Amino acid sequence: MVGPWSILASLNLHTTPSLPWSAPVMAVYLWSAWRYAGGIGPPRSTREFRRALLRARALTLREWRTCLHTGVLAIAALWSLYGVVSIYIPAHIQRTTTTALPIQSMVAAVLMSALVAAVSEEAGCRGYMQVPLEKRFGPAVAIASSAIVFTAIHLGHGASVLQLLPFYAAAGVVYGLLAYAAGSILPALVLHFIGDLILFSLRSFHIVLWKTQKPSSWQNTYATLGVASAVVFMVGSVLAFRRLLRQRGGVFSRTQTQRNCLD
């Protein structure tokens, strides 16, 4: 899905940069691909198999609250650590030399880029890849494998992303564990979209949250508070994940139909 979006966005940029037509076109393509991956469309013989692999089970309102609360705590811990790391090493934010696009095109590009990344990576890594690995090797191997692939995908973003690889790996574990515990990729997809939306906005609009100067006493104090916050969020997320897994029985939640499709 990233490939078609790159082609459409590039074509849009070189033809009518002030009219972000590529975003709605990509939205239609993305929706069609999502429906097909979820079992809609021919061939009929693979519909249940595709639905089982995507693992996009609808959740109740209570399940949404529990899953998002759990995931937010874990991601907040990662963002707190990222804030601390950014004080002491150069910021990863890429500054481009291209002419600034109209605000409507920038906003459309950021929104669609975040959505494409979230949908394609969650469907591919936490759905189609992780589900059969869970069945064959168990959740630990499946989550670790999907996290490794998720991290490797981002190596193509260039050297500026190297300092973020540990955070991508940790986020991959969080998303994988959340998909396993919830029996659905939807909570991870929502959190992934929000996280990418923030990250892409920082890059696109050249917003630097943390200066990378010689650490001052204030920065050292900030770093201490950041680490403390990360520990609090991390402990909270561990307890929340334990509670979520206990509610799900500690096993991968799926229907009997899904079991039959994967056997």
pLDDT in tens, 141-175: 999 999 999 999 988 776 667 778 899 999 999 99
Residues 95 and 206: beta-carbon distance below 8 Å: yes
Task: Give me 179's structure tokens.
Answer: 């998909």
Rounded to 5°, angle at Cα 45 from 252 and 34? 60
pTM of the complete model:
0.87
DSSP 123: I
Can you give the pLDDT at residue 263?
Answer: 59
Query: What is the spatial distance between Cα 108 and Cα 20, in angstroms, rounded to a whole number?
Result: 7
Q: What is the pLDDT of residue 163?
A: 77
Q: Is the pLDDT of residue 259 over 70?
A: no
For residue 197, give the nearest of 108, 78, 71, 105 by alpha carbon: 108
Per-position b or e across 1-22, b if 16+ CB within 10 A of its CB:
beeebeebbeebbeeeeeebeb
Amino acid at 163: Q
Q: How far apart are CA 4 and CA 117, in angstroms?
A: 12
Highest mean pLDDT, choosing among 78-92, 186-200, 212-226, 235-249: 186-200
Q: Judge whether residue 258 has pLDDT over 70.
A: no
The total number of structural domains in the chain stands at 1
Question: What's the CA gap between 201 and 50, in Å, rounded?
Answer: 33
Gap between the Cα atoms of 184 and 180, Å rounded:
7
Domain housing 106? 2-262
Higher pLDDT, 42 or 161: 42
**Are the C-beta atoms of 204 and 104 separated by less than 8 Å?**
no
Cβ contacts of 246-249, under 8 Å, gap ≥ 24: 247/66, 248/181, 248/182, 248/183
pLDDT digits 0-9 by tens, 62-109:
999 999 999 999 999 999 998 888 777 655 444 444 457 889 999 999
- The reported pLDDT for the residue numbered 84 is 84
Mean pLDDT check: name the lowest of 56-60, 97-101, 123-127.
97-101
Confidence (pLDDT) at 95:
46
Percent of residues, the chain, with pLDDT higher than 90 = 67
CB 208 within 8 A of CB 92: no
Q: How confident is the model at residue 203 (pLDDT cuts 50, 70, 90)?
A: confident
Residue 181 has pLDDT above 70, yes or no: yes
Q: Say how many CA atoms lie within 13 Å of 29 toward its Cβ.
A: 18
Q: Of 70-84, 185-199, 239-253, which range is least confident?
A: 239-253
Q: What percent of the chain has pLDDT over 70?
A: 83
Reported as type and span, the H/E element at residue 236 is: helix 217-247
Q: What are the structure tokens assigned to 46, written together?
A: 């693979």
Residue tagged 């670790």 (tokens): 144
Q: What is the pLDDT of residue 199?
A: 86
